[in-house]
Amino acid sequence: MTDYENELLADFGSDGESDVDVEGIEDKNLEVEDENGYVPGGPREKSSESSETGGGASLDPGAYLRHLISNSSITSLQKSLETFDISKIYDITKDSKVLPIIGYLRDKISSYQDDMRTDYEELMSTLTFGTSSNSEVSEHSSSEISQYQFILMVNEISSIINNEVSFIHAFNTLHYKVVFRELETIVSNPVDYARIMLLIEQDLSSINKYQEDLKSIVSNEKVLVITMSAIQQVQNSSDFKLSEPDFNTLRKSSSLVLELNELLQDLSVFISNKLFRFAPNINAIVGPITTSQLLTASGSLKQLSITPSCNLPSLGVKDLSSQTSGSTSRRIRQTGYLYHNELVNQLPEEIQKPVLRILSGKITLAARVDLSKNATDGSLGSKYRLDIENKIEKLLAPPENRGDKALPIPMDPKSKKRGGRRFRKARERLQMSDLRKAQNKMAFGQQEDSIMDSFGEEIGLGMSRGVSTAGGSSSLNIKVNNRVGGKVSKAMEARLKNEEANVNLDNFLQNTNKEERTERNATNDATRRINDERSESKWFSGMKRKRDTND
């Protein structure tokens, strides 16, 4: 048991793995055996051999696959670059995590592809004879479930394979650099790089004879650039060559890249075939990759169909909390699977959001159609796809150029004021009084009277006092506007009266208090004095005091 655990640890190259995890794997391992009934080799029987082969091939591939998926962090490129020092690795194929299970995956694919045919035959037979036993049906569905799970798993493993390819690519470039420095910058695709490396090996000086073969790998322009830089390399630097065993490891690793790439292609073909059966309409809209991603993220087709469409763009978002930093896009927070789909990804940023909305709406509809097993040929999905493309085209169209809009005719609108008795009265109440008008006028050549207001401002009285003639008395007879002034409502009148009574009562009480203190003066007198105090302003307090002393 411990032996087995140690092996696992060694395989995964991560020292941080706890024992609990490993036991978890073992549990999964057992489950897989039960589910699939596929046991290529018992782990415990083969454990003795594994030390010799040095690979994970000895383990149950299904369990191994699950482990890889559940610990996808350890397979990420960055992690592997951190944990492994590429320059010190001699044979990278030994560290490959996917290599041991290639065979298993191939087996699975072929078996399920055969399944499709047999399923179909079975279905036909049950239809024709009309006698399908329950056990047969359940068997059928269980195989379907496991197949479905395998599809979901394949989706995960493809990203792992991609990571591994870039890891090996890093290894290749590091070692091949000494032979052909510029190839890395010219050919960025790992697969093409590996192919070219296998083709020309270390024979840079006679690169011209490979030209035809190179043309089958990369474009003509690239071939030219590669040839030129290879000749340059030969001329400039001393013709450095790797030793044969060194280059052998490079050969091995690049053929591994090719193999992995082939596996990836097989997987994608398999998945698109299979998805066409499970979810033909979604597949028709967004293609097999996004479909499988969405199915994985939501769990099942049923789950996907009951997910509200507004939630679909959020599926596959790496970290919702770190969206504020906005490294990728400021407009779109939900950079999930749909965002990375080629239908959305290449669009300009400003219309990505509406397109995401349209797309997710259609996907939800298509998921429901798929769930109900209608339109199994994906016709509805392709119709939706056309709709979406039309809508995108409309969104992409530039806005119509309308030119300048003519200004409206500058006509003054008719006054909305009403006429009539009531309106006239209201206006009279608020209009300036004749007295005020007279105040604003000044007699010519005469000094006007003025008063000081409470703020110390001088206010001219104009002709309101009447122009003082030689006699000194007013000669103007100014009409007083009786209609000016606010009206007091009955309620207000009652309130005022009430208030007055209260004030009187207060005064009375205060007076009695004062009387007690001073012990003199009649109540009437005191009332009058307090009233004075209230009504008169502070400037007259001196007078009052004087009167008090007089008293």
Partner 1 sequence: MGSVFLPHLHTGWHVDQAILSEDERLVIVRFGRVYERECMIMDEFLFGIAEKIKNFATVYLCDIDEVPDFNSMYELYDPCTVMFFYRNKHMMCDFGTGNNNKLNFLVGDKQELIDIIETIYRGARKGKGLVISPIDYSAKH
Q: Which residues bind partner 1 (CB under 8 A)?
A: 403-412
Q: How many CA atoms lie within 13 A of 500 on its CB side?
A: 6
Cβ proximity to partner 1, 407 vs 480, nearer residue: 407
Q: Quote the least distance from Cβ 407 to partner 1, whole Å.
A: 5
Question: What single DSSP character describes residue 413?
Answer: P
Q: Quote the least distance from Cβ 408 to partner 1, whole Å.
A: 7
Cβ proximity to partner 1, 399 vs 408, nearer residue: 408
Q: Tokens standing for 509?
A: 């009480």
Cβ proximity of 356 and 392 under 8 Å:
no
Cβ proximity to partner 1, 411 vs 470, nearer residue: 411
Q: Quote the least distance from Cβ 400 to partner 1, whole Å.
A: 16
In 67-138, beta strands by DSSP E: none
Cβ proximity to partner 1, 410 vs 471, nearer residue: 410
Q: Quote the least distance from Cβ 405 to partner 1, whole Å.
A: 7
Question: Cα separation of 109 and 114, whole Å?
Answer: 9
Cβ proximity to partner 1, 400 vs 519, nearer residue: 400
Cβ proximity to partner 1, 37 vs 403, nearer residue: 403
Cα distances (Å, whole numbers) of residue 213 to 216, 247, 345: 5, 21, 34
Q: How many CA atoms lie within 13 A of 122 on its CB side?
A: 15
Question: Cα separation of 442 and 121, whole Å?
Answer: 116
Cβ proximity to partner 1, 350 vs 412, nearer residue: 412
Q: Quote the least distance from Cβ 412 to partner 1, whole Å.
A: 7
Q: Quote the least distance from Cβ 411 to partner 1, whole Å.
A: 7
Q: Quote the least distance from Cβ 391 to partner 1, whole Å.
A: 33
Cβ proximity of 420 and 432 under 8 Å:
no
The alpha carbons of the chain give a radius of gyration, in whole angstroms, of: 48
End-to-end CA distance of the chain: 119
Measuring CA to CA, which residue among 109, 93, 112 is closest to residue 171? 93
Cβ proximity to partner 1, 410 vs 420, nearer residue: 410
Measuring CA to CA, which residue among 19, 56, 35, 289 is closest to residue 158? 289
Question: Cα separation of 166 and 116, whole Å?
Answer: 33
Cβ proximity to partner 1, 393 vs 404, nearer residue: 404
Residue type, 247: F
Q: Quote the least distance from Cβ 402 to partner 1, whole Å.
A: 11
Cβ proximity of 387 and 285 under 8 Å:
no
Strand pairing of 458-460 and 450-452?
A: antiparallel
Q: Quote the least distance from Cβ 542 to partner 1, whole Å.
A: 56
> What is the full DSSP assignment across 33-71?
HHHH---SS-HHHHHHHHHHH-SGGGS-HHHHHHHHHHT
Q: Quote the least distance from Cβ 410 to partner 1, whole Å.
A: 4
Cβ proximity of 478 and 500 under 8 Å:
no
Cβ proximity to partner 1, 20 vs 406, nearer residue: 406
Cα distances (Å, whole numbers) of residue 501 to 158, 381, 508, 512: 95, 87, 11, 17
Question: Cα separation of 533 and 545, whole Å?
Answer: 10
Measuring CA to CA, which residue among 195, 166, 200 is closest to residue 180? 200
Cβ proximity to partner 1, 409 vs 491, nearer residue: 409
Cβ proximity to partner 1, 373 vs 405, nearer residue: 405
> What is the full DSSP assignment across 361-412?
HHHHHHHHHHHTT-STTSHHHHHHHHHHHHHHHHHHSPPP---PPPPPP-PP
Strand partners, 506: none
